[in-house]
Structure 1
């Protein structure tokens, strides 16, 4: 297995490990947090493996920084994808699907709020851009979006059969996103399981964690909403570590304590709520705690060899790095330097 893996994908694995070794170190983050302006941030980034990604691209802004970081991520992804062979090619496409789902959700929300399609398209994440997006500049309502995009795209396979296009305007966009994500995670989990070996072992563990996180987060966010328990259950991915009985309890939970009890009883996620409660200044959210745990899990993927998980984990870690840089940039731009250190640490020592 190891010999076959090296023959087919050994170069790409080594390349990806090299990409990961080029990610920002603690000293790089220290330099960023000490910057006094966005221009300083951009100069500091140029001194890392990102290089001169801002050359000749206008005035310093958080939007510009975010766009150039996303472009670099897309370039690295595209290089791996273009040099891959099956089944890695399909695996890499699965990595792109969440970005497509997020782009579609943003377009739906924008159309509901009557925002110009051209402006919305510029806000799409480059990893989630696909051919059909270029054909919808003249789309004016959700029915047209459904006909032009959803039905004839790679994510059409994740559209629930009970999601009628006529009611998309009445359905909360987060419910649409959650429904697509559930089908995506379950499909990706099944695909990775079929690959067998270390890839199946590493990826099913990572995707099960992602499924659990989404179920818990949806349960928490639904506490003060009008979403009924049966509809909550339909949004929960079923490929996580949490058994079906736990998902049932989460769907009918009426307060955060009950969610914590379920998490403690079945998979120990309750400790994330304990840490969250001790955060007296309110800056570290439950989402942040999940991101910290996700970063550790993805960094640990690199401890094993001969599996596709490192490609998934690298993209996840790189996206988190982009998020950190944008957070620091926003704090500097808004002169809230007391919050500049509340980024998510990425353990690169694995």
Structure 2
């Protein structure tokens, strides 16, 4: 019955997103792209993929930023087509996906404004999926209260922002606290919404959001070592979902070193391998913070690849968007390596994890 009712409202768009999924670049295509001698060759190779002639009208020499911008526009166009044709509750589900980009845009603007970066440049760097009408006004806010009352109160982020108002000043530490407080509220709200959807969607999204929450808990813990962030403040930033919650979260809130984090993650079988050093690297069997983040990101990608082949689930839309975002970052990385004549870096290409936090 669930399968029949799902297709009535969402069958067409599920077919569309599966078409998008089929157009994602594969390992063979990436291998071909890494062999390109210059960005003109890179552009020609991309034209033979699902990207088509999206760079055809760009003048030479083409830049890495242009490639990333045009690829992002393609993602946005495809996502907006899905959102414009969706009905409830899929339309609300797609809206929730954009809230993460809104949070990133807000933090980008207030951080850039704090460090006196050019406003026009900051606005250009904002992700289109996270754009809202009052976003430019963030550049003139000087306190958290002003930020909330004049700009964010009427946005979807308004309810998430209420717990941030106690941080009166906009400095680097408070901005990181705001970022993680917003993500905590967002993940919990998104998780609770997905519980109402039922079926395959609830199971799949619970798994994905639980992993995202755990990754944030681990990153917050490690990146707060040696900073002025108190253990009480750290604990308040942890989402109340995930496989580490509640016992693991309580232990990580008190942790002082990486070995304690490793001991907590040993309790979750899926997380045990995160702390194993890559073969041939220094560190007697223990991964450093960068290796840990890479492994968590790869695990998230693996989960998303599996979920994009499931049927009758909204998680397919979420996972496709995440994989597409990763693809754009990878393309930008390969293009930058080619532009700088550093093709040897492909051996250890980094994916640029978006959610990393530093205190």
Per the normalisation by structure 1, the TM-score is 0.92
Matches of 2:89 and 2:173 in 1, distance apart?
A: 36
1:158 aligns to 2:160 (yes or no): yes
| Distance change (3 Å), C-alpha of 1:137 and 1:250 | closer
| Distance change (3 Å), C-alpha of 1:169 and 1:223 | closer
SS in structure 2 opposite 1:32?
A: helix
Aligned to 2:187: 185
Aligned to 2:339: 333
Aligned to 2:355: none
Tell me, yes or no, if the aligned pair for 1:218 and 1:232 is still in contact at 8 Å: yes
1:311 aligns to 2:304 (yes or no): no
Aligned to 1:214: 216
In the TM superposition, what are the counterparts of 1:48-87 in structure 2 within 5 Å? Answer: 48-58=49-59, 59-87=61-89
SS in structure 2 opposite 1:176?
A: helix
Aligned to 2:25: 24
Task: Report how many residues are paired.
Answer: 344
Matches of 1:151 and 1:85 in 2, distance apart?
A: 26
Q: Per-residue deviation at 1:206?
A: 0.7
Tell me, yes or no, if the aligned pair for 1:273 and 1:286 is still in contact at 8 Å: yes
306-315 or 227-236, larger mean C-alpha shift:
227-236
Q: Per-residue deviation at 1:288?
A: 1.5
Match of 2:296 among 290, 295, 310: 290
SS in structure 2 opposite 1:269?
A: helix
Tell me, yes or no, if the aligned pair for 2:106 and 2:135 is still in contact at 8 Å: no
After superposition, the CA RMSD in angstroms is 2.2
| Distance change (3 Å), C-alpha of 1:330 and 1:142 | farther
Gaps of 5+ in 1: 346-350
Aligned to 1:118: 120
99-108 or 151-160, larger mean C-alpha shift:
151-160
Matches of 1:239 and 1:9 in 2, distance apart?
A: 28
| Distance change (3 Å), C-alpha of 1:38 and 1:261 | same
Matches of 2:139 and 2:298 in 1, distance apart?
A: 41
Aligned to 1:348: none
322-331 or 89-98, larger mean C-alpha shift:
322-331
| Distance change (3 Å), C-alpha of 1:301 and 1:286 | same
Tell me, yes or no, if the aligned pair for 2:222 and 2:289 is still in contact at 8 Å: no
SS in structure 2 opposite 1:179?
A: helix
Q: Per-residue deviation at 1:173?
A: 2.1
Tell me, yes or no, if the aligned pair for 2:167 and 2:174 is still in contact at 8 Å: no
Tell me, yes or no, if the aligned pair for 2:103 and 2:183 is still in contact at 8 Å: yes
Per the normalisation by structure 2, the TM-score is 0.89
Matches of 2:80 and 2:258 in 1, distance apart?
A: 41
Aligned to 2:11: 10
Matches of 1:19 and 1:207 in 2, distance apart?
A: 22
Tell me, yes or no, if the aligned pair for 2:106 and 2:138 is still in contact at 8 Å: no
Matches of 1:341 and 1:329 in 2, distance apart?
A: 14
Per-residue deviation, residues 66-92 of structure 1 (Å, max 9, x unmatched) = 111111110110010000000000000
Aligned to 2:48: 47
Matches of 1:284 and 1:251 in 2, distance apart?
A: 21
